[in-house]
């Protein structure tokens, strides 16, 4: 059975979430950041539900802490919070979150979003381990991008969202991928994400590609294009 970690200080919310996800997986409750750290150190979780305002820390900060680890970067994180301002939502995506669900929420919607996210992760794991395009290689099990140059091998560790973006671009070389397509392919049609969050995640992906950031071109007013032919120029 899939294990889901809920980092939330409200016992009422815990019972509500547990009821909503009873058929989806086993819910583990962590009412504080410190408790969540202990749970993550000893268990494997398929998904994390994370509140922003916690008794001993910020959910945004904890999200960044989790996604900075090899295991954490492969775990989808869904914010579950009463903070509904656009700026707060953008902060959540910038911190590495995969989705943002505002309280009060529908238990049915929560279940649908969690199931959609778990399906995406499952599909990523069963598609094989490697995709290579010329001097560029994507390792799915490690969520890494390997770049082979005359100077040797460069490695970029990506979050789950960044890796899915890279996979989407690499599978459609030289093709303009529209923002709406990116939203549907990476986040899913059942998940509401602001288009600006696409730009935020692509920007972070480019930074991790370092000197190869120009492989992903911006197409004004439309989306992005992956240009692997530039590998010979860097």
Q: Where residue 207 sits, what CATH number does that domain have?
A: 1.10.10.10
Percent of the chain at pLDDT above 70? 90
Span 62-79, mean pLDDT? 87
Q: Is the pLDDT of residue 11 over 90?
A: yes
At 136-164, the pLDDT tens digits run 788 877 778 887 777 778 888 888 889 88
Q: Is the pLDDT of residue 229 over 70?
A: no
Same domain, 117 and 135: no
Same domain, 7 and 102: yes
pLDDT classification of 213: cutoffs 50, 70, 90: confident
Of 62, 91, 125, which residue is a domain's last? 125
Same domain, 23 and 112: yes
DSSP assignment of 171-227 equals TSTT-EEEHHHHIIIII-TTS---HHHHHHHHHHHHHHHGGGGGGEEEETTTEEEE-
Same domain, 103 and 58: yes
Its domain, for residue 135, covers 130-232
The total number of structural domains in the chain stands at 2
Is the pTM above the cut of 0.75? no
- Check residue 142 and give its pLDDT: 79
In 3D space, the residue among 143, 22, 174 whose CA is nearest the CA of residue 74 turns out to be 143
In 3D space, the residue among 21, 4, 15, 2 whose CA is nearest the CA of residue 78 turns out to be 4
Calpha distance 213→234 (Å, rounded): 10
Q: Is the pLDDT of residue 30 over 80?
A: yes
Percent of the chain at pLDDT above 90? 42
Q: Is the pLDDT of residue 106 over 70?
A: yes
- For residue 144, which phi and psi values (nearest 5 degrees)? -125, 150
Q: Where residue 56 sits, what CATH number does that domain have?
A: 3.40.50.2300
Q: Is the pLDDT of residue 108 over 50?
A: yes
The residues, any chain, with a CB within 8 Å of residue 41's CB and separated by 6 or more, are none
Beta pairing partners, 213? none
Same domain, 60 and 88: yes
At 194-210, the pLDDT tens digits run 778 899 999 999 998 88
pLDDT classification of 189: cutoffs 50, 70, 90: low
């Amino acid at each position: 059975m899939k294990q889901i970690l809920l980092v939330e200080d409200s016992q009422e919310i815990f019972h509500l979430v547990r009821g909503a996800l009873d058929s989806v997986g086993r819910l583990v409750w962590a009412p504080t950041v410190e408790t969540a750290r202990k749970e993550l150190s000893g268990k494997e979780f398929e998904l994390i539900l994370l509140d922003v305002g916690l008794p001993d820390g910020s959910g945004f900060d904890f999200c960044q802490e989790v996604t900075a680890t090899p295991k954490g970067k492969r775990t989808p994180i869904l914010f579950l919070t009463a903070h509904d301002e656009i700026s707060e939502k953008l902060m959540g995506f910038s911190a590495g979150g995969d989705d943002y669900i505002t309280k009060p929420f529908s238990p049915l919607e929560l279940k649908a979003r969690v199931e959609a996210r778990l399906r995406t992760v499952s599909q990523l794991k069963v598609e094989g381990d490697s995709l290579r395009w010329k001097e560029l290689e994507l390792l799915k099990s490690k969520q890494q991008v390997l770049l082979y140059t005359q100077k040797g091998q460069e490695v970029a560790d990506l979050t789950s969202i960044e890796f899915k973006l890279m996979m989407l671009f690499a599978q459609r070389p030289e093709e303009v991928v529209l923002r709406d397509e990116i939203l549907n392919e990476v986040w899913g049609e059942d998940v509401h994400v602001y288009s600006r969050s696409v730009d935020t995640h692509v920007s972070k992906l480019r930074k991790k590609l370092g000197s190869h950031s120009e492989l992903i071109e911006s197409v004004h007013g439309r989306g992005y294009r992956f240009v692997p032919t530039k590998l010979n120029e860097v």
